[in-house]
Structure 1
Amino acid sequence: MKSYRLDPGQGLAGLALHEQDEPNPGRGQVVVRIRANSLGFRDLMVLAGRYVLPITPGVVPGCEGVGEVVAVGEGVTRVRPGERVAATVFPRWLDGPFRRENAAQLGTMIDGVLTEYALLDEDGVVPVPEHLTDDEAAALPLAAVTAWNALTSGDPLRPGATVLTLGSGAVSLFTLLFAKAAGARVIVTTSGAAKAERLRDLGADEVINYREDTAWDETVRALTGDQGADRVVDASGPLEKSLRSVAVSGSVSFVGHWLSGAEGAEPVSPSVLFSAGAALHRIATGSRAHFLELNRALTAHRLRPVIDRVFPFEKLHDAFAYCESGGGFGKIIITHD
């Protein structure tokens, strides 16, 4: 079989295709024939060696993969050969709050899924909704689970609430889909007219061009009668403007864009944090329990992710180059067909 391997910090030059024997499952393990993967900004940080988690030299990269179970080890009861499954980003984080002992992540600390056959723990895979194709299901494990966690942390999201999500990246697109399905009013910030139009087509109630409207936090308050958004999903920053946009007793879900030195990485004034009067939730993707809840919601509402472009497995370098260009809208998919 073929697998990509990564020399951390070397960028695309450190990504090479290797051949090796197909794995055999041990106790509690499954072998998954990967049919599709997806890429995002997180993968670019891993390639550059700028990710928050340690990266094992020679690791198989990629944390988002979907495929068919082809073999199971002794004692496996959760899945059977022939089932379609998705890998969970943190295979040891099953439920509850994120803890340090659950930090082993696919594609950084342990082998990921940019491979033809992946050896995974049975606890680290979940069934995928039947109405989704393999390409669509591959878009879920990172961005969709992150958006779901961001919207469900803290108090329940109630119909009629106002959700603000920052930017038009994959997390924000999933946030828009999930929040509209929950009956929320959704405000989205973006960088241009073309993306704004696509966001409106997806159901956004209000779209703010943050390049033209640099005081977009004031615009959010104006759009909400000076009350602010009940929930803010901050996937791009600046965090201070999110805090100025949120309603008192609302919440800000902070996805962690500052890890890459992105806009808004500067310290936040304690007075702004206190004056916001809102809860601040740190979002680190999500657990297997989050993924299972997400799948039930996708099935109930027949939701589908937004796909940008599809690349063949052998053209992974081209897919990364396209991802780095930053001009896309939706998930970048790698197909094994």
Structure 2
Amino acid sequence: MTAQIPSTIRSYYFPTLGSHTNLTLQTISLPELKSNCVLVKIHAVSLQYRDLYISLGRYPGKVVDNLVPCSDMAGEVVAIGADVTQWKIGDRVSANTTIDYLYGEVGPRTLEWVLGGEIHGVLAEYRDFPAHSLVTIPEHLSYEEAAALPCAAVTAYNALMGPKPVKAGDAVLILGTSAVSLFGLQFAIASGATVIATSSSDAKLAIVKKLGAAHTINYNTTPDWDKEVLRLTDGRGVDHVLEVGGPGTLEKSMAAVRYAGHVHLIGFLSMTPVPLMNVIAPCLLKAVTLRGVLVGSLAQLESINGLLRARPESTRPVIDKVFSFEEAAEAYAYMESQKHVGKIVIRVCT
């Protein structure tokens, strides 16, 4: 069962890594569709910091040769394999970043099937996906908004709704204004928590204030932001920290979290090293749970879609800028500039 589709498609790839300027457009033949797969016309792709690190050759994981980059997409089903029963032509879908991670805990094979790195990604006009790797896009979202969800939103959701879910009355510290940070802010507020947000930019803090942050801290003008967090929480500390900085911020996050609180380690945007004991000692002495967060499952992406349908406006993805397919390299450059607040999206097909 098929709609009218082309025999050749355009996609981007990296013949060599080291710079996003190596991104190259190619025309390739569309492969034959497997019986357990669906073919998706990709309407929008969103960028992650991981995509930038891969392009620069700094990603610590495996990267396939001649990589077709990017992991997050939204599109339209245009062809269905012979054994597929759960999808029909015209369905609006997005794929989980890790296509075979369906539910439960991560395992040793979780990272073997991550789009845009370990396997070829989605920066293409069309791509086939295993039928089990897709979810339906919420009706109220555009393709551009839906493309923002699979990695950033799932990571934030996995952090805050994981083993110890955030609840009404909790205090949550959100570091920075990346897409993961903004989704974490939105999910925390939707759960009834009080959010404290940090950034180096007052303009960016004004945006997160409009999104519902109760308190904002500029860490350039308030370098001891951990002490300010303690002041704002009457010395108790926050229940959860969405920690995207890594080595350069983890020590202060440990100081800002309450006894028996939770620090969710997601990224390493700040690479300033600190002595290891400066992290280990407060982790032990305050009984803090330091948890590494590795993306999330298809089931969690489904749960996010349920949350977005229930809270359609307060959880609407924040899109900073949309680039055309021909401007893909410019989208990478814009991400490298770190001027954005929220998601950078590439519109592939109209």
TM-score (norm 2): 0.92
Contact kept, 8 Å, 2:48 with 2:70, in 1: the verdict is no
Percent identity of paired positions between Structure 1 and Structure 2:
40
- Structure 1 residue 188, shift from structure 2 partner: 0.5
What does the per-residue CA deviation read over 1:184-217, in whole Å, with 9 as the maximum and x for residues that have no partner? 0000011121111111111000001111111111
1:244 corresponds to which of 239, 252, 255: 255
2:230 corresponds to which of 221, 234, 243: 221
Q: Look up the match of 2:186.
A: 177
1:133 corresponds to which of 123, 137, 142: 142
Unaligned runs of 5+ in 1: none
Q: Look up the match of 1:149.
A: 158
* SS at 1:49 equivalent: coil
Contact kept, 8 Å, 1:239 with 1:264, in 2: the verdict is no
User: Counterparts of 1:1-337 in structure 2 under 5 Å?
Assistant: 1-103=9-111, 104-237=113-246, 238-257=249-268, 262-269=270-277, 270-302=280-312, 303-336=315-348, 337=350
Please report the RMSD computed on the Cα atoms of aligned residues, expressed in angstroms.
1.3
Q: Distance in 2 between matches of 1:131 and 1:27?
A: 31
- Structure 1 residue 24, shift from structure 2 partner: 2.7
Contact kept, 8 Å, 2:21 with 2:329, in 1: the verdict is no
Contact kept, 8 Å, 1:244 with 1:272, in 2: the verdict is yes
Q: Distance in 2 between matches of 1:124 and 1:271?
A: 41
* SS at 2:228 equivalent: helix
- Structure 1 residue 52, shift from structure 2 partner: 2.2
Contact kept, 8 Å, 1:239 with 1:268, in 2: the verdict is no
- Structure 1 residue 320, shift from structure 2 partner: 0.8
Q: Distance in 2 between matches of 1:325 and 1:121?
A: 35
Contact kept, 8 Å, 1:240 with 1:264, in 2: the verdict is no
Runs of 4+ in 1 over 4 A off after TM superposition: none
Contact kept, 8 Å, 2:265 with 2:290, in 1: the verdict is yes
Q: Look up the match of 2:5.
A: none
- Structure 1 residue 102, shift from structure 2 partner: 2.0
CA distance 1:158–1:13, shift in 2 (3 Å): closer
What does the per-residue CA deviation read over 1:6-56, in whole Å, with 9 as the maximum and x for residues that have no partner? 134231242111101223320211111000011131111010111121111
What does the per-residue CA deviation read over 1:112-132, in whole Å, with 9 as the maximum and x for residues that have no partner? 100000111112211111100
Contact kept, 8 Å, 2:11 with 2:125, in 1: the verdict is yes
Q: Distance in 2 between matches of 1:335 and 1:294?
A: 23
- Structure 1 residue 301, shift from structure 2 partner: 0.4
Q: Distance in 2 between matches of 1:98 and 1:214?
A: 36
Q: Distance in 1 between matches of 2:240 and 2:263?
A: 6
- Structure 1 residue 267, shift from structure 2 partner: 4.8
- Structure 1 residue 285, shift from structure 2 partner: 1.2
* Further displaced range: 75-84 or 302-311: 75-84
CA distance 1:230–1:84, shift in 2 (3 Å): same
Letter in 1 for 2:103: D
* SS at 1:257 equivalent: coil
Contact kept, 8 Å, 1:38 with 1:334, in 2: the verdict is yes
Alignment length (residue pairs):
334
